[in-house]
Amino acid sequence: MVSGVAFLIPELQRGGHISLAHASLLASAPMVGLMLTTVAWGWALDRRGERRILLISLGATVVCTAAIVAAAATGQDFGVIGALLLVAGAAAASTNGASGRIVVGWFPPEQRGTAMGVRQMAQPLGVGVCAMTVPSASQHFGVASGFAVFLIVAVLALIATAVAIVDPPTAESGVSTQTSSGATSPVSRNPYRGNRFLVRVHAVSVLLVIPQMILWTFVPVWLIVDRGWSAPAAGALVTVTQVVGALGRIAAGRWSDVWRSRMKPIRVIAVAAGLTTGLLALTDLIDSPVAIAVMVVASVVTVADNGLAFTAIAEYAGPSWSGRGLAIQNTAQYLAGSAAVPIIGATISAVGYPAAFAIAAIAPVVAAPLVPRDRSASD
């Protein structure tokens, strides 16, 4: 739901007669909702455990997405739909922190990066599902059918949680968590006091999420409107890109396990993200057909760092603070994403896609020197 509204933008522009900037605001509404409630959900996760909070959160998400489908089907104003999307995002905001805590709670340090990479596959694969279903469904059957995809997925997520999720021992017994370096995180100490490791990780992640969100949101529109692709063809390419990106997250996680470092791979990824996104701006500016291939590479590279930062935060914060630490991470990233999407939408409308891609390339270049060295909670 959070990323899928972007795939409705072409149909919203055609059938809803709204501008790209206004459609971008609609697409950012679930991210704003996530931003508003993620820390509160993180606090609840630290105290009540994952399973209980996920059932409450996903149950509310099902209700909200059903309301969105009903509103779209009955022709409600897009302001009403935007408000419902915001509330749905707020309801769903527990899922990122909860799933991150589950991975860190159940897997030992030498497997945790790889396991978190598998967990991080969910987001690009979800985008891939949206790419294959939402544009075609909305084009042939209306916007409401595109929103119905989010309802179906929310129902499946609720069922899967009820059947399969078990709280890890750290959530129930308060045992400590080892970091990738073998040190042990404290059970209750505030991890934000004493050094700036978590603050720097948050800052780097905020910068690195900007090109990721820009590519996720505007590549479908770029392919369909600017490059003349059909909606099914654009959806297929984005789906393939997201699948490769998902596999890249596993590779990055395994890389961090082998290196016994979360931060060194992030630094390399930041440099690569700046280079590939900048190259996309250049090739699009000269209208080169190579721009399509460069876009695929940039889309894969820009999503590779997320699991590494998540793992480092959860390891360093420990079980008593990881919910809040991951919530702050998500809040900061979604704040950046929700601000960047409408700004870039207005930029595209004013001066075109190459300028937008060039702006996206600046953020990872700034992020690379800010990546901290690996720290254990005892440092």
* pLDDT per residue as tens digits for the range 68-89: 999 989 888 888 999 999 999 9
Please, which pLDDT band fits residue 188 given cuts at 50, 70 and 90? low
Q: Model confidence at 95, in pLDDT bands (50, 70, 90)?
A: very high
* pLDDT value, residue 265: 94
In a domain, 368, yes or no: yes
Highest mean pLDDT (candidates 214-218, 226-230, 359-363): 359-363
Q: Domain of residue 51: give its range.
A: 1-166
Domain-embedded: residue 350: yes
Residues 241-274: pLDDT tens digits? 888 888 888 899 899 898 888 899 999 999 999 9
pLDDT at residue 23 tops 70: yes
376: confidence class by pLDDT, cuts 50, 70, 90: low
Q: Is the pLDDT of residue 334 over 80?
A: no
Q: Domain check: are 147 and 209 in the same one?
A: no
When divided into structural domains, the chain yields a total of 2
Cβ atoms within 10 Å, residue 194: 10
Q: Is residue 318 part of a domain?
A: yes
- Is 373 found in the same domain as 273? yes
Q: Do both 155 and 203 map to the same domain?
A: no
244 and 359 together in one domain: yes
pLDDT of residue 301: 93
d(CA 178, CA 315): 6
What would you measure as the largest C-alpha separation in the chain, in angstroms? Answer: 59
Confidence of residue 14 (pLDDT cuts 50, 70, 90): confident
Instruction: Answer yes or no: do 224 and 267 share one domain.
Output: yes
Handedness of CA 261, 266, 271, 277 (dihedral sign): positive
Residues 101, 201, single domain; the answer is no
Enter the tokens of residue 184.
């042990």
Q: Which residues pair with 178 in a beta bridge?
A: 184
Residue 306 identity: N
> Residue 187: pLDDT band by 50, 70, 90 thresholds?
very low
Does 255 reside within a domain? Answer: yes
Q: What is the mean pLDDT of residues 168-174?
A: 56
**What is the per-residue pLDDT for 183?**
47
Least confident of 9-13, 109-113, 153-157: 9-13
Of 115, 131, 166, the residue that ends a domain is: 166
* pLDDT number for residue 178: 53
Q: Quick one: pLDDT at residue 16?
A: 60
Judged against a pLDDT cut of 80, whether residue 355 lies above it is answered with yes
**Of the residues 123, 151, 166, the one at which a domain ends:** 166
Is the sign of the CA dihedral 64, 68, 73, 76 positive or negative? positive
Residue 201 in domain: yes
> Do the beta carbons of residue 45 and residue 333 sit within 8 Å?
no
Return the pLDDT at 333: 84
The set of residues, in sequence order, having a beta carbon less than 8 Å from that of 71 and lying 6+ positions away, is: 80, 81, 84
pLDDT band of 240, cuts 50, 70, 90? confident
- As beta bridge partners, residue 184 has 178
CA 129 to chain centre: 14
- Same domain? For 158 and 245 the reply is no
183 domain residue, yes or no = no
Say if 211 falls within a structural domain. Answer: yes
Average pLDDT, integer, range 305-327: 86
pLDDT score recorded for residue 15: 64
Residue 298 maps to which CATH number?
1.20.1250.20
Q: What is the DSSP string of 158-195?
A: HHHHHHH----HHHHH----B-TTS-B--SSS-TTSS-
Give the confidence band of 17 by pLDDT, cuts at 50, 70, 90. Answer: low
DSSP per residue, 225-280? IIS---HHHHHHHHHHHHHHHHHHHHHHHHHHHHHT-SHHHHHHHHHHHHHHHHHH
Please name the residue ranges forming H helices in 74-120: 78-92, 94-106, 109-120
Q: Name which residue leads in pLDDT, 185 or 108.
A: 108
